[in-house]
Structures are given as structure tokens and as C-alpha cells.
Structure 1
Amino acid sequence: MLEILYQDEHLIAVNKPAGMLVHRSWLDRHETVFVMQTLRDQIGQHVFTVHRLDKPTSGVLLFALSSDVARMLSQQFEQHQMIKVYHAVVRGYVLEDGTVDYALTEELDKIADKFSEGEKAPQPAVSHYRVLARREMPVAIGRYDTARYSLVELTPETGRKHQLRRHMSHLRHPIIGDTAHGDLKQNRGMAQHFECPGLMLHASHLRLTHPVTGEALSLTAPWDPRWQQLVERFDWKGCVSELERVEFPAQASQDS
């Protein structure tokens, strides 16, 4: 069963597990379990998508319970009226907080986008990051005798495809577990030495205005056991409270 974070007669939010597709896709024809279908069966009614999280990303995922509410929520996303906050484990020591203002070209899928026109001009992309903790571990990965990691909080101001992954890679601090833009040796090392495979990117918070009542909603998705064991092993337990103390920026974000 999916963990329900919030539910009323108009919308519902769940804590999406890592490795689970939001909906059926012909690009992943072998998959048989999807968030939409699971949630529909769990609550006994149809749900409407308003945004998405990539398959390896966990965290807050919002659905509407009617087409009208879906349209209103989609407009909030399109107009950057929602704020999304992520947590990630990245390679190396991130020394200070900052902002990445680095335009990104559109990423096209070789199969799904094979009939698309040629490469388009780079689109503006802005992400804010905040350092929460660092850790050096006595394991040799690659050419170094030790491995360094940082726990960061990420707030995208724009919503380009794989924006957070690409921006952290641009900073030379790729997100652990990122097979497209990351460090494959570090990915294997994390799985081998710390029993923590997969992408270490979690959509922790979503702030929005309720499309019907007008009230402010702040939704939080707890870290799953994989995250929790790594946080304990790296002695980052004090950072768990950061899930309750997020400083939401004034600028909203659209997507990851």
C-alpha cells in the first residue's frame, strides 16, 4: 500500500517509493506496478496526475480527484506557484550554499523523441542548494583512499527535465545513484560499501494553495528505510529534523 500524506474530497498526496513508475509507459513495458493504478485500487476511485517524479525519485506526489481540480493544480505548476524542496546525497564536500543559474538544453529520448526536431536553444534553469551535512568515510572508491559525501537541500526555481541531477553534475557534485549524469564508480561504491543502491534524491516537501478552499498546504514525505539507514550510518540523524524546519523560498518551483 502507498503511504498517504494528505487526502480530502478534492486531492490526495502520497509518498512515492523509489523505483516505481507514476503511470504506465511503453518505454517500460516490462513494469507491472504503477502509482496511479495502485492508488486507484487503494482508495477505490480514479485519480488524475498533475505532475510527476522520475522512476528512481521518491517523495511527495500529488494527484487530483477530479478533472477540474487537476486542471487548477496543473495551472499552479505551470505558473510556478508551487514550491518543491528535495534532499539529495551528492559526491564530495559541498562547501557552501548557493544557486546554480545554468541553462539546459532539452533532453530527448532516443525512442520516444526520435521524430522531434533538432536540438533547441538552451532554456533558463535555476536551482538553489543548501548544505546540511558532510561526511568522509574510510573506504576506497576510485583513486581515492576515502569517500566524501554531502547531504544537501535542493529547491528548483524552474522545472527542466532532470534539472537537479544536471545542475549538481555541473557543480561536480553529482547525485549518488544518478546513472545518466553521475559518477558510476561512486554509485557502485555506495551500493557495495553502504548497502544503499539507487538514486539518492527525495522530494521531501511540496507547498501549494488548495485549489478549492484557498488554504495553504505544506506536505512532507518522510525518508524511506534506505535513506534512514544511510543517515544513521553517516551520523546525520540530527538532519532528520530538517524535514520539519524547511525554509521555503519566496520563489515557487514547477518540477524536477
Structure 2
Amino acid sequence: MIPILYEDEDLVAVHKPSGLLVHRSWLDRHETQFAMQMTRDQVGCHVFPVHRLDRPTSGVLLFAKSALMARRLSEQFAAHQVEKVYLALCRGHLNEAGTLDYPLKEELDAIADKHAKQDKPPQEAVTHFAPLRQVELPIPVSRYPSARYTLMELRPQTGRKHQLRRHMAHLRHPIVGDTTHGCRHHNKLYREAFGIQRLWLVAKAMGLRHPRSEDPLWIECDLEPEWQPLLQRFGWPTDSGAYRVRT
């Protein structure tokens, strides 16, 4: 079962766990479970994806129940009219809020995108960020005597592939658990200290206009139980309410 966060006659939003693919992909032919099929089976009708959520990222995943609603929602996403809020655990202490306007070249897969144009110019990519909590652990990592981390609120204004992971890496504060753009020393520490291997990035909340009524709609998920050992170790609140974007 996949947790349903919101459902009506037009939409369904679920809480996708880290590691679950959104839909079938020939690049992962061995996989047997997918968020799209699981949601379809639970709600009893076909569902249409309207945005992307990387496999290692958990959190709010929205589907439409008809092609018409999917088209209207996709138009909102394309026009950057959907408010998206993520929480990420990042390496180091980042002390000030800011905005990173740093264009990104499109990341192409060697097989799936082998016929795609290889010399496209970088695309506009904008991320707003703000530190929420910080911690320093007395654990040596690489050449440093301690391990510092910041819980970040990230609000992407654009939606480029791996934008948040790449932008935080550009700021020298990569997201913990990012095996592509992150730091292997910190990733190893989390595997060994907590016995959990995942990307510590959550699509926490989403604000949009309902595609039929145009009323504002806010959908938010809680942090997964696997965050609890970290929160306890850090001395941070363990109540999910402490991390709500909107109360």
C-alpha cells in the first residue's frame, strides 16, 4: 500500500517512499513495483503523472485521474505556478537564506538519450533555499574532526533534472545520500551510523490551484519514520508537526 495524502474525483496525491520508481522504465526492467501502478490499483482507476519525482526522492507525488485534468495540471507546472517545498539534509553549516540562479546543462542518459542533441546550452535553473536547523556531531569525517549538517528548506522555481541535488552540490553543501553529486565520506557515515542508505531529500509539500474548481490546494506529507533515528541523534524535535511547512 502507498499512503494517500489527498483524493477527489479528479486528483490523487500519494506519499512516495524513497527508492520507488514513479512508473515502469526499461532502464529498470527488474523492478516490479511502481508508484503509478500502486496508486491505480488502490483508487480503482487509471492515473496520469503530471510531474517528476526522482527514484531516491520521497514525498508528495501528484496524479490526475483524467487526461483533461492532467493537461491542466501540466500547464500549471510548465508555467511555474505550482509551489514546491522540499526538505533536505545537507553537508556543512549554511547560515543564510538565499537564491541560486545557476543554469544547468541537461543531464542525458548514455542509453536512453543517445539520440538526443548533446550540445544544448545550459537551461535556466533557480532554487530558493533557507536553513532550518543545524547540528555538529563529534564524529571525524575525512580530514575534518567533526561532522556538520544543516536541514534546508528548498523551493525550486524551475524544474530541471536533479536540480536540487546539483544546486546544493554547487553551493558545496551536497545533500546527504546523493551518490552522484554528494560526498562519499558522509554517505558512508550515514550508512554505518544509522544503517540506512537513502537520499535525505523529501518533497514535503505542494501548493497549486485545483484544475477544475481553481480553488487553492495545499498537500503536505510528514517525514518518514526512518528520519526518527537521525532526529533523536541530532537532538531535534521528533514530532512531525515541528517540520510542517504550513500548520
Instruction: Report the TM-score when normalising by structure 1.
Output: 0.93
Q: Does the 8 Å CA contact 1:94/1:150 hold for their aligned counterparts?
A: yes
Paired residue type of 1:96: E
Taking the aligned partners of 1:69 and 1:245, their CA distance within structure 2 comes to 26
Q: Does the 8 Å CA contact 2:232/2:238 hold for their aligned counterparts?
A: no
- Name the counterpart of 2:102: 102
- Name the counterpart of 1:6: 6
Highest RCO, 1 vs 2 (Cα 8 Å, sep ≥ 6) = 1
Taking the aligned partners of 1:74 and 1:242, their CA distance within structure 2 comes to 31
The change in CA–CA distance for 1:204 and 1:43 in structure 2 (over 3 A counts) is: same
- Cα distance per residue 1:40-99 (max 9 Å; x no partner): 111211111111200000000000011111111111111111010000000011121111
Instruction: Say if 2:196 is the partner of 1:196.
Output: yes
State percent identity of aligned pairs. 54
Name the SS for the 1:53 alignment partner: coil
Paired residue type of 2:180: A
The change in CA–CA distance for 1:238 and 1:229 in structure 2 (over 3 A counts) is: closer
Which structure 1 residue ranges, 4+ long, deviate > 3 Å from structure 2?
Answer: 238-243
The change in CA–CA distance for 1:32 and 1:63 in structure 2 (over 3 A counts) is: same
Instruction: Say if 2:57 is the partner of 1:57.
Output: yes
Q: Does the 8 Å CA contact 2:49/2:70 hold for their aligned counterparts?
A: yes
Name the SS for the 2:62 alignment partner: strand
- Name the counterpart of 1:162: 162
Instruction: Please list, as runs of the form range in 1=range in 2, the aligned pairs for 1:232-247 lying within 5 A after superposition.
Output: 232-237=232-237, 240-246=240-246
Instruction: Say if 2:127 is the partner of 1:127.
Output: yes
Paired residue type of 1:128: H
Q: Does the 8 Å CA contact 1:89/1:151 hold for their aligned counterparts?
A: yes
Q: Does the 8 Å CA contact 1:88/1:153 hold for their aligned counterparts?
A: yes
Instruction: Report the TM-score when normalising by structure 2.
Output: 0.96
- Cα distance per residue 1:184-243 (max 9 Å; x no partner): 111111111133321000000000000101110000011111123212221221784454
Query: What is the count of residue pairs matched by the alignment?
Result: 247
Instruction: Please list, as runs of the form range in 1=range in 2, the aligned pairs for 1:36-75 lying within 5 A after superposition.
Output: 36-75=36-75
Q: Does the 8 Å CA contact 2:20/2:35 hold for their aligned counterparts?
A: yes
Instruction: Please list, as runs of the form range in 1=range in 2, the aligned pairs for 1:103-252 lying within 5 A after superposition.
Output: 103-237=103-237, 240-246=240-246
Out of 207-216 and 194-203, give the one that drifted further.
194-203
> In angstroms, what is the RMSD of aligned CA positions?
1.5
Question: Which segments of 5 or more consecutive residues in structure 2 lack a partner in the other structure?
Answer: none
Taking the aligned partners of 1:165 and 1:90, their CA distance within structure 2 comes to 10
Name the SS for the 1:85 alignment partner: strand
- Name the counterpart of 2:21: 21
Taking the aligned partners of 2:135 and 2:239, their CA distance within structure 1 comes to 13
